[in-house]
Amino acid sequence: MEEKNSSEYVPGISFSLKWGKIHIYRSSLYCMENPKFIRMLFDPDNKHFALQACGRIKGSIRVPERIGEDWEFRLNSIGLLRMIWDVCDWNDEYTYQVRGKYYTENKLAEFDLMNAARIDI
């Protein structure tokens, strides 16, 4: 897979077990050319998480229409968050932010969870 990251759009995501939220950064969606649907992929063995643009398929998530400058895309998934926390052995009191790599060929933003930055919120 060929990585394509422009300096303007570097995919990003953050995870907060405390608040039960996954925040998908706009830059991730811009890299994927603003898809209507995405799917989340998690590889617990390698501790990688990915977002992939897709059509309307089983398990896909509709990306809400962007309205205004304050638009955010947050998902609630306590089950997925607990699985990530168990695999990565993260502290429940912190939010973790990860910058990723984008692979044009697969319309996929990949995040190495071992490179997550802990955020005190």
Question: 94-105 pLDDT, tens per residue?
Answer: 999 999 999 999
pTM comes to 0.88
pLDDT number for residue 6: 47
Summary mean pLDDT of the chain: 91
pLDDT number for residue 67: 77
pLDDT number for residue 7: 45
User: What DSSP line would sit under the chain, residue for residue?
Assistant: --B---SS---EEEEETTTTEEEE-HHHHHHTTS-SEEEEEEETTTTEEEEEEE-S-TT-EEPPPP-STT--EEEE-HHHHHHHHHHHT--TT-EEEEE-EEEGGGTEEEEEGGGPEEE--
